[in-house]
Amino acid sequence: MKLTKYMMALTVSAGLLIPSFHTTALAAGDTQTVQQGEYKKDELVVQWKAYVSPAQRAAVFQKWNMQEAYYISKNNYSVIKIKGGQSVPALIARLVQQEQVLKVEPNYKLKQMYVFTDPYAAKQWHLAKLNLPKAWDVTKGSSEIKVALIDGAVQTNHPDLAGRFTGAYDVVSKSAVLPAADDHGTHVAGIVGAAGDGKGIVGIAPGVKLMPINVFYEDGYTSAAEVASAIMYAADHGANVINMSLGGYEYSSLMNSAVQYAASKGVVVVAAAGNEETSQPMYPAALSNVISVSAVTSSDRLAYFSNYGSTIDFAAPGDGIFSTIAGGAYASMSGTSMAAPMVSGTAALVLSRNPFLTPSQVYSRLKASALDLGAAGRDIYYGEGRIDAYKAVSLTPAPLTGFTVSTSRLVTDGRSSASITFQPYGSMDAAIYVTDAAGKTVRTLFSKHVTTEKIAASWDGKLTDGTYAKPGEYKVNLKVTNGKQTLTKSSALTVAAPAPSLKLSASQLLMNGVNKVKISFQKYSTMTASILVKDSSGSTVRTLAVQPGGTGSGTVYWEGKNSSQRFVKPGTYRVYVKITDGKRSFTQEVPLKAVSK
């Protein structure tokens, strides 16, 4: 089975962050004019003085023919709608003179902060089509995400690609040294991940790493065996996405086996649908667990050359795409070869947002965000629709949300506990564990593979051996991993010893044979409580009770007699309680003055 590269035609640029506006609020009594930034012509923002009531605000609105759009209680702000075509600067000048007003400012407009500075950005029509400038405000791609390019050899020292690569491999020579650079492979690489550093163009995901894998011989052909080897190499070397801008019309069980292996390792596999205006399935694009991509023009019409059919999953720009080529140059190319890396790059952005997503979850994000073209719903030309990078990353949930520990202080009394919750989204092995001040793990509370269900655990203060943790500083930690990426969160927790909470009904006891002092204390699960009376020298004069474990309050009485049932001498004594589980103990003493009748 021979597989070929899809021919193509070419055009693009990147950017930097710049401020797009400035504001100055006017305080009461100011005469400064409104600055030149763009602002909404029918709105104002007013900050009121702290004492101003809703009724007083309403009076100002009525006086100046305004309406409150909404009120922001934090620091007393109102967003106000202006009626009657009044001038914003003129109305500000009036409002700042009002006694109730602290500050007034226009409701300034904000622009996107990412702009292109690459000289060829204007030639990359697909950047705006896929909403990439807005997508890059969310993520430009993580260097932890790897996109394998199973294609011709890439010029790894191209000015727009240098430093972007990891794990290069030549299947033909079984070497890490790539052969002479290929226009097609270099073009695909630029579409996915050109650096966007002001030198030429910008890729879909300029922050990710590229893994170039050459599978083509000098005659421009490869085979199912080489492609299958490349797929397995990519899967075994940490690729998150595989792009294949190649194909043939013969089904290969070997290539299918390699694709299913990659899918089982969580790799998103993308392939071009072909350029021969046919509905005949092209492989590997038509295989299960492969995203098949057709090509559209700048007007979102199916490109004349693009294959179509029931196996098409998504459409992407593929007509006149400008990108890098060998020799440090640039050119326009057309083909589904150019459309596939658009989807691969977008998938890489989605995984940069949440690297724990499964291939099916990535697909669902692409589907939910795609622009439906052609017939309503999925169709044979555009599949689920034309991808939209910004919507795709915007609809991608974070891998972890809602990580909370219910308390920052835990008393190890056998009845208190800290509740831990978090919400995962993806496919990950999760562990919740407690570490001491030295970073040593003292208890694992949860260890399980999770996907999207809300997780809850708790810690009662016990260590792995069943004993209670010593008082001190600890951390509750959450760690998730999918074998490629790892994410951790932690929350500080102070462990405190339980206090017996000893209380006396009086601070003085009249020893007359009638009066008694009521002694109350707190008992804890699994702990024994001993209540003693000690004299000024610390000697025990009476053991009042020894009560076994059990949570609840305890009560005993003392009439002033010692262990021989004789009244003690007048003086100051101490009521002493000790609770213990045999491995740790906690004590408390309260003074009591004994007087004779």
Annotated active-site positions, please? 151, 184, 337
Q: Spell out where 209-283 has E strands.
A: 209-214, 221-223, 241-244, 246-247, 268-272
- Count CB-CB contacts under 10 A for residue 298: 13
Distance CA 265, CA 293 (A): 22
- The answer to whether the CB of 404 falls within 8 A of the CB of 420 is yes
Distance CA 184, CA 201 (A): 16
- The answer to whether the CB of 221 falls within 8 A of the CB of 190 is no
Distance CA 307, CA 456 (A): 49
Instruction: Report the chain's terminal Cα–Cα distance, integer Å.
Output: 112
> DSSP secondary-structure letter at 32?
P
Distance CA 490, CA 485 (A): 17
Helices 224-236 and 253-264, axial angle in degrees (round to 10): 10
Residue 424's Cβ-side half-sphere holds a number of Cα atoms within 13 Å equal to: 28
Distance CA 54, CA 432 (A): 49
Q: Is 103 exposed, middle or buried (0-12, 13-18, 19+ CB in 10 A)?
A: buried
Beta bridge partners of 533: 542, 575
Residue type for 253, please? S
